[in-house]
Amino acid sequence: MGRYHLSTTPFTLLGKTSDDMLISLATSLTVRISCYNICGHISPGLRRFMKIHEYQAKQLLKEYQVPVPLGNVAETPEQAREIAARIGGRVVVKAQIHAGGRGKGGGVHLANTPAEAFEAAQAIIGMTLVTHQTGPEGRLVRFVLVEEAPVIAKELYLSLVVDRTRRRECLVYIASEAGGMDIEETAHTDPGKIIQAAINPAAGFSPFQARKLAYGLGLDRSLHGAFAELVKNMQRLFVKNDLSLLEINPLVVTGDNKLLALDAKVNFDDDGLYRHPDLEQMRDFAEEDPLEVAAVKTGVNYIKLDGDVGCMVNGAGLAMTTMDLIKLAGGEPANFLDVGGGASAEKIEKAFDILTSDPKVKVILVNIFGGILRCDRVANGLIEAVKKTRLTLPMVVRLQGTNLAEGRKLLEESTLTFTIAEGLYEAAEMAVRLSGKELHGITGSEKSGNPF
């Protein structure tokens, strides 16, 4: 039991917290619900990438009796006016896109009357909202959330996350009376203000956890009952839906002494989604990168970046390493692309389709370590794919592993022009040179006499 007593350790070292914690602290006021899914099979199965909107997050909270502001979604200024009239009083009109920083970008307006809500919605709907998370091209806003704007007496921070720290491995609540924007700052400068309460996996939620948080937050006694309910419901929502993060920031105490989740961020556990087909329906394809969507459908794990060296690699670790090498050699990777441990010819072909639809790509670097997947099969896959997709970009191929000689022979004997690299680093250098960049020498490593 000792390990799972409520931790009294202050939240001193950010390096000691979970990823999810770091993400949540870093994103503070964003109202993003994000989810990456890698559906679970031994062989790399369907990989999905999903985010949902703020209004959907709040619907989810409401379903689990976590109090959220009264509100609704509007696709037109008329609807916004109507919703504002029904709510009565001051409302806030918020652009619904899958990116944070909407306030700063002009996507959030306060409106004192239904007429003002109409004007705010008119200004926001149809605008291209640029925030630090959208990139310079911005995002088209198609609808807004109109909700009550309560009088705020106090802003708190409250989250439930998976703590993956060694020897903890449990769910833990994190709370702070310093809610709002600067929670990450607080964690650094005033760790004593951060309270944690771990949930023993065997015992589950217990009311003392809520008491620990409530007293720690200095909540007025009159709110303790509602707070305990809220804390318990957070745990229910988390476990029932396979979340990896549930963050309410800020959790506000209103002028009339009520608790309200003014903003929320939910991360789904990618691997738990198969148990929740209903959540999939919340997905909004219009908000996603079309190339990443295409990749998702083929089971290829692709993330677009800004460089010009397109990469195709088997295995996530090796794919990241290949990107590192391109950068070390002085180039810029165009993407992360993992075709999976056992890339089939069909997947390789699909991967080429994805790579070549990025107009920035000047050269393709293929790096495959053939284990179970033999190099000759990879080579055949490459040749077929190049023929089929009529690829004209220069391609550097680096194969290693089972049936290497056969694989290389196939590439050399084909009528196509592959640049064949022997070593890992050599491959990166060749690709960078073909992308038209100057090579960097690697410093601080033992390159001399290195056959790789």
Any idea which residues carry the catalytic annotation? 157, 247
First to last CA, the chain: 50
Closest separation in Å from C-beta 300 to other proteins: 10
The minimum distance between CB 148 and other proteins, in angstroms, equals 31
Residues 32-51 that bind other proteins (CB under 8 A): 36, 38-45
**Under 8 Å between Cβ of 147 and 91:** yes
Stretches 81-89, 216-224, 264-272, 344-352: which one binds other proteins (CB under 8 A)? 264-272
- Here's the x/- map for other proteins, 408-427, by CB under 8 A: it reads as ---------------xxx--
Spatial distance between the Cα atoms of 46 and 398, rounded to a whole number of angstroms: 26
251 neighbors 29 (Cβ within 8 angstroms)? no
- The answer to whether residue 2 forms part of the interface with other proteins (CB under 8 A) is no
Residues numbered 59-98 forming contacts with other proteins, rule: CB under 8 A? none
With 0-12 / 13-18 / 19 or more C-beta atoms within 10 angstroms meaning exposed / middle / buried, residue 69 is buried
Residues 6+ apart with CB under 8 A from 41: none
Between 275 and 387, CB nearer to other proteins = 275
| Cβ-count burial 17-27 (b if 16+ within 10 Å, e if not) | bbebbebbbeb
**In the complex, what is the shortest distance from the CB of residue 81 to other proteins, in angstroms, rounded to a whole number?**
37
The residue whose two tokens read 């000759």 is 376
Contacts of 297 (CB under 8 A, 6+ apart): none
Surface-to-core class of residue 445, CB atoms within 10 Å of its CB (0-12 exposed, 13-18 middle, 19+ buried): exposed
Question: For residue 291, which of 348, 390, 349, 358 has the smallest C-alpha distance?
Answer: 358
What is the rounded CA–CA span in Å between residue 199 and residue 176?
Answer: 18
Cα–Cα distance measured from residue 63 to residue 47, given in angstroms and rounded to the nearest whole number: 28
CB nearer to other proteins: give 3 or 104: 3
- The residue from 127, 223, 226, 303 that contacts other proteins (CB under 8 A) is 303
Task: For residue 44, give the 3-state DSSP assignment.
Answer: coil
Q: How far is the CB of 286 from other proteins (least distance, A)?
A: 20
- Which CB, 41 or 387, lies closer to other proteins? 41
Please state, in angstroms and rounded to a whole number, the distance separating the CA atoms of residues 356 and 44: 23
Shortest Cβ 230–other proteins spacing (Å): 21
Which 266-285 positions form the footprint of other proteins (CB under 8 A)?
269-272, 274-275
CB of 245 to other proteins, least distance (A): 10
Binding other proteins (rule: CB under 8 A), the pick from 9, 16, 112, 405 is 16
Hey, what's the torsion of the CAs at 302, 307, 309, 314, to 10 degrees?
-30
Interacting positions 172-231 with other proteins (CB under 8 A): 184, 201-202
User: Considering only residues 7, 10, 23, 409, which one is a binding residue for other proteins as defined by CB under 8 A?
Assistant: 23
Give the one residue of 218, 281, 372, 438 binding other proteins; rule: CB under 8 A.
372
Pattern 313-352, other proteins, x by CB under 8 A:
xxxxxxxxx-xxxxxx----x--x-x--x-----------
Residue placing its CB nearer to other proteins in the complex, 19 or 220: 19
Is 293 among the residues that bind other proteins (CB under 8 A)?
Answer: no
Interface with other proteins in residues 108-167 (CB under 8 A):
162, 164-166
Q: Which of 338, 314, 317, 319 is nearest to 402 (CA)?
A: 314
Nearer Cβ to other proteins, position 125 or 172?
A: 172
> Under the criterion CB under 8 A, does residue 294 sit at the interface with other proteins?
no
Run of H or E residues at 327: helix 316-328
Beta carbon nearer to other proteins, 257 or 450: 450
- CB-CB neighbours of 366 under 10 Å: 32
* Residue 219 beta carbon to other proteins: minimum distance, rounded to whole angstroms: 28
Q: How far apart are CA 381 and CA 387, in angstroms?
A: 10
Of residues 91 and 325, the one with the C-beta less far from other proteins: 325
Helices 424-434 and 316-328 cross at an angle (nearest 10°) of: 60
Distance of closest approach, residue 218 Cβ to other proteins, in angstroms: 27
Q: Which of 12, 26, 236, 290 binds other proteins (CB under 8 A)?
A: 26
Total residues at interface with other proteins (CB under 8 A): 81
In the range 377-406, which residues lie near other proteins by CB under 8 A?
400-402
Q: Let me know how long the chain is.
A: 452
